[in-house]
Amino acid sequence: MPTPSVAARRPAAVLFDRDGTLVVDVPYNGDPDAVAPMPGAVEAVARVRAAGLPTAVVSNQSGIARGLVTPDQVAAVNARVDDLFGGFDAWCVCPHGPEDGCTCRKPRPGLVVDAAARLGVDPADVVVIGDIGADVGAAAAAGARSILVPTPITRREEVAAAPAVAPDLVAAVELALAGGAA
């Protein structure tokens, strides 16, 4: 694991991507019974809470715009995630499709900025943890720091471009809490 730099600073909050980061990615999931935590994810989120930091989820849910899931189904899946993880301080969801031109869809900054505002912290004091380049891009666009946790769907170029990479969510949280996110 990388050593935090001299300028390292502990975040004021940690934001998590949902699918592929907190829970196993089930494309366009509208079924709460299909929600399963990623290995170590419940422990990782508990570690952030034990450190006294607020948590939020920032999640693109284009299945709503595509008509594949309803807002109520997404809300039910999110409620199941809350049940499994003990509840998050904020949920910020983009219901738009890639061609909608919204400011909230990652890699745009809207979800990160909104989550930081809801948590009462500056985006520059936030760490975003996710599994793809859009998560890293949203953090950068908002002036936040990020840590990429690659999964089989993460492209090699996304890993190479990420300012900080961790092998799993527990390691990512430890890196964030040590101030090592970039």
Q: Which residue in 19, 114, 131, 135 is the catalytic one?
A: 19
Distances (CA, A) of 168 to 39, 147, 161: 8, 10, 18
Residue 36: Cβ within 10 Å count = 12
Residue 152: Cβ within 10 Å count = 7
Residue 19 catalytic? yes
Active-site positions read: 17, 19
